Amino acid sequence: MSAFTSWPPDIAPDQVAELTHLATTYALSHALLYLPPHSSAPPPPAPTSAIHAPLSLFPTPIPRNLFARARRLQRAYNLLYARVTMDTAFLDEIMGEGGVADVDDFTGEIWRAWKGLREEGVAQHLHLGLFRSDYLLHQPVEGDEIGLKQVEFNTISSSFGALSQQVAGMHRHLQASTGYFDASPLLKPENFPPNDTVQGLVSGIAEAHKAYGVPSARVLFVVQPNERNVFDQRLLEYELFQRYKIYVVRRTFSELTAAASLSPARALLIPTIPPDASRSPIEISVVYYRAGYTPTDYPNPETYATRALLERSRAIQCPSLALQLAGGKKVQQVLASPGVLERFLSSEEGADEIRDSWMAMWGLDDDALPVPPAKPSADVHLVDGEPSGTREARVRAESLVLKPQREGGGNNVYRSAIRPFLDTLPARERRAWIAMELIRPPQGVGGYLVRAGDAQNGAVKGKVISELGIFGWALFGGEEKIVKDEEVGWLVRTKGQDVDEGGVAAGFSVLDSVLLVD
């Protein structure tokens, strides 16, 4: 029996209770935390309590060769998305006028801000990306060799790097302190890979700060109001100061709208708190966005104007407007089209392995498809005049996911919901959506999941699916368009087998880590 179908190993109820107690107390002791839901409006001005983040008691088995492949692929993906970002004509064609911007209001706002910046004149030609490439194990038919397929590539607010390091430490602690009660010979120290994601991500921010060239400047974290996932961000902040003596300031878009300004030389300036006319404002070297990836982050035109103001400055953006657009699902789909990936990456640079990591994708407005036409079943109602991409999405609905140009979880349309959705989707909006064949993870894998702040109800055992994320950073641009990049760590998110969406912050998944298996 494989490690997957026999996972997790059998343990007694009192052993589950002991592991749960050890896991949750470790989490509370090591900032593996969330802020609790607010019970009052407005929330308190400062946190007064915290709850542990959602977590898994056992790490997830990942084949050693596939884990190594995912880590190796990250450098190729870093380079690919850096080059895509610097190809203005390519992004304009896909995401600009005549493309997604015409039919998706949010994408349109981001693209028009970028277009306006180019017309004014760009003050900072360097871009910083803190990336995460997400994968699922893929086994089309039980008994087939297990492969690795990419879910998506994230270019903005790639979260949970810090908490993923903490949960990996928690699993190593459980192994060291209990041996997992000798439940499985796989649970030995050499199968728990190290995870130093915090230092890795921070090294990318520090590299950008150094490139900015003003040691006394600070890094700006743009955050959402009432952020519950604050500890994932604070651990990066603390590492920046402890390792590099770089200070961080945190501001929401509304705070920046009221106070951010540009100097005559287009330095980004933030007032001190409290404001003090006798003290110089804070100069910003790097703007790191943990907000700005969803339309709800821009409640009014002033917020979009603030994003444009930040981008007009000399501060290095993480991500820039262009890099945010490059992370769009439509870009991923176009890259998968024949010959397009090879425009940016050679075989020697990893193009073949990247292409092998993709499932079939197409646009709903496409007529040329990467799959042969499927025969519709009797219950499928086809609509005359629809493009081949929409027709094929109707026919193949039970094996597909539809994706819009959104981040943050909860935006996709799956399987049986696809046909009713297509019936109501305006024809002009099809170009904003892509269809992607569903990845088929190995079946029969189980886990013990402990929900955030719910340890009193114990760990819940069930069938699960786990998603592996690999982190990387890239600093690129300038006159010579040089790319510096690294692969810097990983995470695992685990969810119930019957749950389609996968976001931890959105409440679908728990944090997990890797157990290497052969």
Give the per-residue pLDDT at 67: 98
Statement: the pTM of the whole predicted model exceeds 0.85: yes
**Paired tokens of 471:** 């982190």
Judge contact between 362 and 435, C-beta under 8 A: yes
Q: What is the pLDDT along the chain (518 residues), one digit of tens a residue?
A: 477 878 999 999 999 999 999 999 999 999 999 998 876 667 777 888 999 999 999 999 999 999 999 999 999 999 999 999 999 999 999 999 999 999 999 999 999 999 999 999 999 999 999 999 999 999 998 888 999 999 999 999 999 999 999 999 999 999 999 999 999 999 999 999 999 999 999 999 999 999 999 999 999 999 999 999 999 999 999 999 999 999 999 999 999 999 999 999 999 999 988 777 778 899 999 999 999 999 999 999 999 999 999 999 999 999 999 999 999 999 999 999 999 999 999 999 999 999 999 999 999 999 999 999 999 998 888 888 899 999 999 999 999 999 998 887 778 999 999 999 999 999 999 999 999 999 999 988 999 999 876 666 789 999 999 999 999 999 999 888 889 999 999 999 999 888 765 556 555 789 999 999 99
Place of tokens 């230092």: 199
Q: What is the DSSP string of 329-353?
A: HHHHHHHTSTTTGGGT--GGGTHHH
**Domains detected in the chain:** 13-36+49-359+439-517 (no CATH), 361-438 (3.30.1490.50)
Q: Which are the catalytic amino acids?
A: 132, 152, 154, 159, 329, 403, 407-408, 493
Range list of β-strands (E), 395-497? 400-403, 413-414, 434-437, 446-450, 460-477, 482-496
Give the per-residue pLDDT at 1: 47
Q: Which of 327, 391, 295 is nearest to 81 (CA)?
A: 327
What lies within 8 Å, CB to CB, of 50 at 6+ separation is 28, 33, 34, 35, 36, 231
**Paired tokens of 514:** 């890797």
Distances 388 to 372, 435, 439, 482 between C-alpha atoms, Å? 11, 12, 22, 40
Judge contact between 93 and 99, C-beta under 8 A: yes
